[in-house]
A and B are shown apart, each in its own frame.
Chain A
Amino acid sequence: MTQILFHNINKKDLHTLAVYEKEGGYKGLKKAFAKEPDEIVEMVKASGLRGRGGAGFPTGLKWSFLAKDVFPRYLCCNADESEPGTCKDRELLQKNPHLLIEGMILCSYACKIETVYIYLRGEFYDLCEIMETALEEAYAKGYLGKNILGSGLNLDIHTHLGAGAYICGEESALLNSLEGGRGEPRMKPPFPAVQGLYAQPTVINNVETLCVVPYIVNNGAEKHAAIGTEKSKGTKLVSVSGHVKKPGNYEVVLGTPIREIIYDLAGGIRDDNKLKAFIPGGSSVPMLPADKVDTPYDYESLQAAGTMLGSGALIVMDHTVNVVEISLRLASFYMHESCGKCTPCREGTRWMWQILQQIQTGKGEASYVDKLLDICDNISFKCFCPLGDAAVAPVISGIENFRADYDELIEKMAANTAV
């Protein structure tokens, strides 16, 4: 199985510069510096790499959108990883910090950036220390700082810790937070590529996205574009969690059937129970019923199935689960994490939670399900940022696919009152 990111992830002391270099690390720099920056951007475009943070936007294209001739420019690495179910960036940061540093250097060279901030969620204090140590090693070796390897590139990379807010993973909220503000999203346009950090052109990329860049520079765009499907190139780290025997992060070639991920890589369902449902891309994307388990894991197939690849978190549920319970838990999450800036999300997430809570605790009435759908309809596409749409995904898809779970709880209630 082709692996780009995880082939050596469990190598002892990979987090040290010495071992990372022994494994062929930092070779991408000389290769890149022999080319013009724009050639690297074209390479990344041709590789077909798409953002691994959730939205799947083509990476090379994003880089090419930077406002022409406006400097300074910034790179912000999104290490906020807080989409429920997702734990892949944590493993990369912990075990292979130099891979990310190399990726950030390559991006900075391509985009003529001299300052990088790694925005880590506040709870990643331990990873921040690992990253700081790796950065010190890279500075000492001359991979960071002034005139790197004689290329003329000057580059500083800094860490920046958040302080607990899911919304700060959204790129414009991340920028506000990094500027010392409340983590509320910004109006777009202007997009960060035009006016981002400190109103300067800014690239924002996910940890995993940047970690793929050294492979592309070392092996060529074609090599990367040859992996995966027509529209989904390369591999994806999939965080498998929930009711599987071997939960973990697995690197799969895009297009791998979900059945293979659940049953071969993750060892199948616990206690050999029956699969009921799965969420393929983190809590913000619609869940699918078991009969969709042969869907290939790639952007286009998941979209055709009515959901999204998202952050690559595959959450697996067996037949013991009542979907209302799950939707209620996620509704509580989105209510808690709504930044409060816009009304449909701030109020709507609370109403959803209240109704789900009533149904879950046996106080639901037959009309509640339609009421829920009505609220979802008033949130969908009416919010300032995508968090609102994310909040309704588990609820709508839960009702569409597992209405019986709702009816069961509501009927139980009706039966109880009848007595």
Chain B
Amino acid sequence: MFVFSEEDEKQIEKILNRYPEEQKRSALLPLLTLVQRREKHVSADAMRDIGRRLDLSPAYVQSVCSFYTMYSATPVGKYLILFCINISCQLNGCDELLAHTAKKLNIEIGGTTEDMKFTLHREECLAACSGAPMMRINDTFYENLTSDRIDQILGSLD
């Protein structure tokens, strides 16, 4: 059973206050984001709870949730690595670096390490193109990557 913490409840109240009373549906993405960040995925249970709060059917919440790539149905690792493979990064050798990262972590691209520490995804442009090649790990952007730097960054995360 999914329950929001007391801390979350305060956050939810703050979020709801941003939108007009009769437009609380606007809080849907922020609430889904809250869950995704804490639980590392959004469960059907959580969707139902959010739906109840915003007067939205589970089917509606599901249809919105599935539209956006940042919500996942199954848990991602503690560190979510989004590796940009779009044009500016491609021109700067991201493909080899991504392959290097997958090999280093011993997972497929799109996969998660067994200890649930790392998930590795290909990502579209993350608006750091002048720092290509780049990746984002959780909320941090890492730019001007080399294989050595990647090893160092991965090693520094515990």
Contacts and interface: CB of A to CB of B under 8 A. Distances in A.
Q: Are A and B a genuine interacting pair, yes or no?
A: yes
Interface of A: 81-87, 89-90, 117, 121-126, 158, 160-166, 177-183, 198, 239-243, 247-249, 279, 283, 313, 315, 317, 321, 325-326, 329-330, 333, 336-337, 339
A161 B127 contact: no
Interface string B40-84: 000000000000001010000001100111110000000000100
A384 to B, nearest CB: 16
5 contacts: A86-B125, A122-B70, A164-B68, A198-B20, A279-B87
Given A160-B18, A180-B25, A182-B63, A123 B82 contact: yes
Interface residues of B, number: 41
Interface in B1-28: 18, 20, 23, 25-28
A283 B20 contact: no
Q: Which of A85, A198, A283, A321 has the largest count of B CB atoms less than 10 A from its CB?
A: A85
Q: Which of A84, A160, A337 has the largest count of B CB atoms less than 10 A from its CB?
A: A84
Contacts of B69: 163-165
A121 B125 CA distance: 12
Contact of A84 (B18, B32, B82, B86): B86
A200 to B, nearest CB: 10
A390 to B, nearest CB: 13
B129 A247 contact: yes
Nearest to B61: A180
B87 A181 contact: no
Contacts of A241: 88, 91, 129-130, 132
Contacts of B146: none
B139 interface: yes
Nearest to A129: B139
Nearest to B136: A123
Given A82-B125, A90-B128, A179-B26, A126 B141 contact: yes
Given A84-B129, A126-B139, A240-B130, A180 B87 contact: no
B98 to A, nearest CB: 13
A321 B91 contact: yes
Nearest to A156: B18
A180 B124 contact: no
Contact of A180 (B26, B126, B136): B26
B90 A326 contact: yes
Contacts of B20: 198
A204 B52 CA distance: 31
A164 B64 CA distance: 12
A158 B19 CA distance: 9
Contacts of A242: 87-88, 91-92, 132
Given A315-B87, A329-B90, 10 more contacts: A85-B87, A85-B129, A86-B125, A87-B128, A163-B69, A179-B26, A241-B91, A241-B132, A242-B88, A313-B129
B113 interface: no
Interface in B107-150: 124-132, 136, 139-141
Contact of B127 (A82, A117, A337, A339): A82
B64 A243 contact: no
